[in-house]
Structure 1
Amino acid sequence: MCGIVGAVSTRNIVPILVQGLQRLEYRGYDSCGVAVYEDGLRRARSVSRVAELVTQVEREGIEGTTGIAHTRWATHGAPAVHNAHPHFSHGPGEGAADRPGRVALVHNGIIENHDELRAQLKAKGYQFHSQTDTEVISHLVDSLYEGDLFEAVKAAVRKLHGAYAIAVFCKDEPLRVVGARAGSPLILGVGKEGGENFLASDAMALAGVTDQIVYLEEGDVVDLQLGKYWVEDRSHKPVTRPVKTVQAHSGAAELGPYRHYMQKEIFEQPRAIADTLEGVQAVVPELFGDGAHRVFQDIDSVLILACGTSYYSGCTAKYWLEGIAKIPTQVEIASEYRYRESVPNPRTLVVTISQSGETADTLAALRHARELGMEHTLTVCNVSTSAMVRECKLAYITRAGVEIGVASTKAFTTQLAALFLLALSLAEVKGRVTESQVASHLKSMRHLPAALSSVLALEPQIIGWAEQFAGKENALFLGRGLHYPIALEGALKLKEITYIHAEAYAAGELKHGPLALVTSQMPVVTVAPNDTLLEKLKSNMQEVRARGGVLYVLADSDTRIESEDGINVIRMPEHYGPLSPLLHVVPLQLLAYHTACARGTDVDKPRNLAKSVTVE
């Protein structure tokens, strides 16, 4: 979602600020801006891409040694220049929007009491030029400023309710930037030259600038100056946070020969799975961290918390955890879980799933579960330094690499691989699988990269389907059992990047309502592996054909489903048993991708969506 970069240096910092924004573009945004100190406050803002902001900065000759920059994903106020960050304070008598006051500020998150604060600040004479909750913070800091920006920010955050990561500087104190975080990530980058220091919402923003990273904790306030920095915790006591060497993998963002990042990431899945499974010589609890064996012995149920695509990986894992490990499993949408009365069980393993490890709803759900007394926590995450990993006792780090496309692909399949390992490990600890069964499953997992490569070879056939889908505005996806969540994921991918309305159903539900939607203009995508539910699924397909619906079937080679009028079949290279979801989801990713290309949408940055959802 929104991205922050800030810096204090002896050199012109603007190129580093805008380069940081470019590295955060993958998160999604609808406006961007930069502000610096240069004998006062100067800024440039745009509702276009960062490349246009760079042109504007160069044209206006904006330079400075202290500055902040931001990519915004709109929450309060439409995507418009006057709502774009950075925001300036406009105190009593300080004039119009283009005449800055003394404070410049950027913000990720949502301030829940902004209306109350706005009314108080207006009563003091502060002038508002945007609809954002962020402008309230800039005025609030200004109203509390008495010559020490660090003290003003500390006083301001005590009045804020909600989530925030902020970076702020003041024209009265050049070479100083103050940051604070609560519920939204913020890091400190320790510079390598000239005593410079940096702030960012993501270590990737500082790739190539510094690899010395300090992860700020919940409630921290940080003071950046040349050659030094100072951190205080939520009770405003001085603290020392460890400096970690972090490789942010800036080279992974290169597009290479691919047309879009999403296409690149779909084709990276064999390598991503291989990397995720690298070093797995045996299925043992220690794959998930020290102490996992004791935890796995103690627990008697699993609660999975996740959002979006990660939620669907959790829904798939439920079938494995209950079918292989025989452990009762509940899957909850994280954004709903903490707002309802639930029955806690201290012997539950709470599993969070997140690509970024910073998903606000999932972090909040995790904290809620712990407040209810469920202390056995494990995360499946793609970022080893994320808040999710730091806050869970156990973890499995997927190694998907940087995922730039907003629509998740390789992160999803690597999550599935990790969750299958979890099911096997729990089953082994509980004595519910034999050694030979574990060895057979592990052998199948090691073959996954080759199997995925065979599925990717189906791309030309899927392009043919995409050409037919491009003119549609609605689609149905059907699956049964283990493949119902894969149908859900396929529908989500189509929605996200093509803007075609798509729904997914457990195929047995057709006659309970969705069948009313079926016409010749409603393509019906069916995931048809050769499993125990195949004959039931064939009956559901006949229900569609009898109503004039057109079927698009992903079938295993031995299902005896043939292409004919109204039935389009693509044959999967091989049946893969319980790991079949990892293979069947790939054609659905390709279908969404090539349909989006045919419709001319922005594949990697679909409208209204962000990569990392760090606000509720």
Structure 2
Amino acid sequence: MCGIISAICTGRNVVPILLQGLKRLEYRGYDSAGVAVINGKLQWVRSVGRVADLESRVAEKHLTGDIGIAHTRWATHGVPSERNAHPHISGGVSVVHNGIIENHEQVRARLRAMGYKFVSDTDTEVIAHLIHAKLRGGATLLEAVRQCVAELIGAYAIAVISDDDATQLVVAKNGAPLLLGLGDGENYAASDSAALAAMTQRIIYLEDGDCAVITLAAPRIFDAGGNEVQRSVCHSSLTATAVELGTYRHYMQKEIFEQPTAVANTLDAMANCRSLAPQIFGAQAERVLREADAVLIIACGTSYHAAMVARYWLESVAGIACNVEIASEYRYREPVSNPATLVVTVSQSGETADTLAALRYAKSRGHRASLCICNVPESSLVRASDLRFLTRAGPEIGVASTKAFTTQLVALALLAMTIAKLRSRLPEEHEQQLLHEMRQLPAAMQQVLELEPQIEHWAERLSALEHALFLGRGIHYPIAMEGALKLKEISYIHAEAYAAGELKHGPLALVNADMPVIAIAPNDALIEKLRSNLQEVHARGGELYVLADRDANVADSEGIHVIRMPQYAGFLSPILHTVPLQLLAYHAAVKRNNDVDKPRNLAKSVTVE
């Protein structure tokens, strides 16, 4: 959701930097964009639509300056429109903001009483007017920002410039990601390191409550108490080439095909290990994992589906009780908590607002230990957790998650195996077998990717329809859920997933020739049960599309279309069966001429509730 980039330079126009940064942030999902600079006076341009539209308007107005802020907006308060787009202006003050201000109505009423007039429906406009009011009272820009945020309730990352002083910009953070970038004779702030990949790899991650003054010299950072503090400088491994499309048609397609490499990179932590080492989850992992007598996994969306797969692994392989919670629901329940339960959070970005809040809630309920599985090393969730496992998927630009999901599954499989070993439930021979299968996984995924032409043929048929059912049994039921989510996310085909045994309890009523049924048919212990469920569909005129293992004894016939997967992958079968469902959703969306990487109404990193 929403993206911020700001910069101050010497000797060159800041506008191309800001526009390039916004393009790097397009993957987050947005509906409007804007930029403000100071060149003697404050100037700004806003537009609805894509950054390319903003770029055209900026060129028409010949916008230039050596200090500026820019933003992509995902609508929360107020419809997508130019007047609701950021930056918001009050006098010579301009503000961009990510997050939600919960007490904006009360602040708005006070500001109206002071004579301020509002032109937007947003919560952000109160920030601009409030800072302007503080400046009128004699505060410096830093003081005005600090006094302003002290009155705000909610989550925010803001960047502020004022034409009273074009030598500095001020940023502040609480509950939404914000980082600083250090350049050569210029400095930056952004909500995501991807925005700065072409400018610098030297990054400072701000803490909640921090305010920072950014000039051409070294940034000055102040904590929530107003004390000047030092935050460590990190080297970002993200490069500009890592977020380029290359020869692929869409980022989603690129990221689907990057999965063998992403999985290999994720497994690199144990590349030279002859046995499972708990330390891959952190220095204290062996003690923490031994002491855990249950696991609670908290996640949202695609990560929630990964967690549901993990529950099967943890209970069957490790023999440990596992509960899985949707983060946005868990944080509002009053669960019975066991302090000895390990809390595991799963998130691609590590900035998912609901998951962060759920972790804080779990700690407040007495949970002693936490583990984060995440793709971003310095994210808020990683820093808030006792243990961590980095999935090393690389940047994921497409809104619909692909390689982040499969690498999360790899991490969760390793967790289940490690806990099993610590609980003396994984004999050495079985451990070596599973490790061998893990190391063969990238090659097996590459084989599955070779099925793309057959899957594209399926997508041709499905793209003309408006509904679909996905079926799975056992550990593959969450994979069916993920397949349905992918299809509806980017193709806008209504899709639902069911445990196949539930068909006769209601969903079978939907089955007809216009309701395709996509089934996952691994050659596991439930294959005969699943075959019976498929016959229920076939007997009622349903059209079946079956992803069957080579030896699963499911044959093509009238109304039954079968794609043969490689031989049954056992423990890791859910990971392999994910890939064709991703390809199916991708090609269906392409054939419907949809914006695959930026589906309507969705955002990549969900940083608001």
TM-score by length of 2: 0.98
The corresponding residue for 1:92 is none
> C-alpha deviations, 1:220-277, integer Å up to 9, x for none?
1111122132211122222211111223222112212211111111111111111111
The corresponding residue for 1:483 is 476
- The ranges of structure 1 where at least 4 consecutive aligned residues each deviate by more than 6 angstroms after the TM superposition are none
The corresponding residue for 1:229 is 219
The corresponding residue for 1:47 is 48
**Aligned partners of 1:249 and 1:402 also within 8 Å:** no
**Aligned partners of 1:65 and 1:175 also within 8 Å:** no
Mapped to 2, the partners of 1:148 and 1:464 lie a distance apart of 63
Q: Which amino acid aligns with 1:565?
A: E
Mapped to 2, the partners of 1:365 and 1:455 lie a distance apart of 36
**Aligned partners of 1:255 and 1:264 also within 8 Å:** yes
**Aligned partners of 1:462 and 1:590 also within 8 Å:** yes
The corresponding residue for 2:149 is 157
Mapped to 2, the partners of 1:526 and 1:249 lie a distance apart of 39
CA shift, 1:208, in A, is 2.6
> C-alpha deviations, 1:47-97, integer Å up to 9, x for none?
1221222222122111111110001111111111111100001xxxxxxxx
- State the secondary structure of the residue aligned to 1:214: strand
Q: Which amino acid aligns with 2:203?
A: I
Candidates 470, 473, 477, aligned match of 2:466: 473
The corresponding residue for 1:173 is 165
Q: Does residue 9 of structure 1 match 2:9?
A: yes
> C-alpha deviations, 1:455-497, integer Å up to 9, x for none?
1111111111101101110100000100000000000000000
The corresponding residue for 1:103 is 93
> C-alpha deviations, 1:387-433, integer Å up to 9, x for none?
11111111111111111111011110011011100000000011111
Mapped to 1, the partners of 2:62 and 2:559 lie a distance apart of 62
Q: Does residue 573 of structure 1 match 2:566?
A: yes
The corresponding residue for 1:36 is 37
> C-alpha deviations, 1:140-192, integer Å up to 9, x for none?
11112224011111111111111110001111111111111111000111222
After superposing the two structures, state which structure 1 stretch, 170-179 or 7-16, moved more.
Answer: 7-16
Mapped to 1, the partners of 2:144 and 2:381 lie a distance apart of 30
Matches within 5 A, 1:429-468: 429-468=422-461
Mapped to 2, the partners of 1:192 and 1:171 lie a distance apart of 24
The corresponding residue for 1:252 is 242
> C-alpha deviations, 1:87-142, integer Å up to 9, x for none?
001xxxxxxxxxxx121000000111111111111111111111111111111111
Candidates 507, 515, 532, aligned match of 1:522: 515
* Structure 2 spans left out of the alignment, 5+ residues: none
Mapped to 1, the partners of 2:334 and 2:231 lie a distance apart of 36
Candidates 227, 230, 243, aligned match of 1:240: 230
**Aligned partners of 1:382 and 1:401 also within 8 Å:** yes
**Aligned partners of 1:38 and 1:64 also within 8 Å:** yes
Q: Which amino acid aligns with 2:234?
A: K
What percent identity do the matched residue pairs reach?
60
- State the secondary structure of the residue aligned to 2:376: coil
Mapped to 2, the partners of 1:375 and 1:175 lie a distance apart of 46
The corresponding residue for 2:127 is 137
TM-score by length of 1: 0.97
**Aligned partners of 1:9 and 1:175 also within 8 Å:** no
After superposing the two structures, state which structure 1 stretch, 76-85 or 251-260, moved more.
Answer: 251-260
The corresponding residue for 2:306 is 313
Mapped to 2, the partners of 1:122 and 1:524 lie a distance apart of 57
Matches within 5 A, 1:232-311: 232-280=222-270, 281=273, 282-311=275-304
After superposing the two structures, state which structure 1 stretch, 388-397 or 417-426, moved more.
Answer: 388-397
The corresponding residue for 2:543 is 550
Mapped to 1, the partners of 2:422 and 2:457 lie a distance apart of 47
Mapped to 2, the partners of 1:192 and 1:244 lie a distance apart of 16
Give the aligned length: 603
- State the secondary structure of the residue aligned to 2:577: helix
Mapped to 2, the partners of 1:252 and 1:29 lie a distance apart of 22
CA shift, 1:41, in A, is 0.9
CA shift, 1:365, in A, is 0.8
* Structure 1 spans left out of the alignment, 5+ residues: 90-100
Q: Does residue 561 of structure 1 match 2:554?
A: yes
**Aligned partners of 1:452 and 1:583 also within 8 Å:** yes
Q: Does residue 79 of structure 1 match 2:69?
A: no
RMSD: 1.0
Mapped to 2, the partners of 1:217 and 1:185 lie a distance apart of 9
**Aligned partners of 1:167 and 1:179 also within 8 Å:** yes
The corresponding residue for 2:181 is 189
Q: Which amino acid aligns with 2:31?
A: D
- State the secondary structure of the residue aligned to 1:83: coil
**Aligned partners of 1:301 and 1:329 also within 8 Å:** yes
Q: Which amino acid aligns with 1:502?
A: A
**Aligned partners of 2:269 and 2:280 also within 8 Å:** no
Mapped to 2, the partners of 1:362 and 1:250 lie a distance apart of 29
The corresponding residue for 1:215 is 205
**Aligned partners of 2:519 and 2:546 also within 8 Å:** yes
CA shift, 1:284, in A, is 1.2
- State the secondary structure of the residue aligned to 1:509: helix
> C-alpha deviations, 1:174-213, integer Å up to 9, x for none?
11111111110001112222xx221110111111312221
**Aligned partners of 1:351 and 1:377 also within 8 Å:** yes
Mapped to 2, the partners of 1:222 and 1:240 lie a distance apart of 11
